[in-house]
Amino acid sequence: MSLQPGDALAAHNFGLQIDGVTVEYLQEVSGLTFEQDVIEYQQVSSDGKPVTKKMPGVAKAGECTVTRGMTESPAFTEWINASMAGDMGNARKNATIMLMDYQNSPVKRYNLRNAWCSRIETSGVRAGDASALTEQVTITYEELVIE
C-alpha cells in the first residue's frame, strides 16, 4: 500500500462496480448514507437510581448518487432499464464503491447489497453548448457493509 501512517485517501481516486462489472467514466459518487434507529430505554438500578440506556435498533435502507458521463455503457443501461421496468429479479444487484490509494489498489470498500436504480436525471441539452452530457443515478440499497 502506498499510504503511510496518517495519510488520507485522495477524493479523486475511486471506482464503482455493479455485480463485479466496473462502471466506466465516473464523475462523482455522493450522498452515501446509512442510518439505524436508536432504542432508548429506562430502568431502575438495584439501588433505586434511574438508568437510561441506548442501543442500536433496526437498520434502514440507504442510498447514494452516481454522476457519470453519458456513454453507451450497455451493462449500466440494462441495469437502469431493469430497475425502471420493475424487473427486480434482474435489477437488484450488489454494488461496491471502492476508494483507492495512489497505486490504484482498493483500500476501502462500501458494499451495497441489493442495490437498484430508483431515479435517473440527465443534464440539460442546449444548441451551441459544448459541455459533456452527464446522468445522475440514485442507487437505493438494502444493506451497507464496509470493509
Instruction: Return the C-alpha cell found at 31.
Output: 450522498
In a domain, 7, yes or no: no
Q: Give residue 116's domain range.
A: 14-146
Percentage of the chain beyond pLDDT 90 is 67
What's the whole-model pTM score?
Answer: 0.83
Please check whether residue 8 lies inside any domain of the structure.
Answer: no
The C-alpha atoms of residue 100 and residue 103 are separated, in whole angstroms, by 8
Per the domain annotation, does 9 fall within a domain? no
Task: Using the CB atoms, write b or e for 78-107: b if 16+ within 10 Å.
Answer: ebbebbeeeeeeebbbbbbbbbbbeeeeeb
Element (H, E) at 43: strand 35-44
pLDDT in tens, 69-126: 888 778 888 999 999 999 999 999 999 999 988 888 888 999 999 999 999 999 998 9
Structural domains in the chain (count): 1
Residue 11: closest CA among 33, 26, 21, 1: 26
Residue 1 predicted with pLDDT over 70: no
CATH code for position 22 = 2.30.110.20
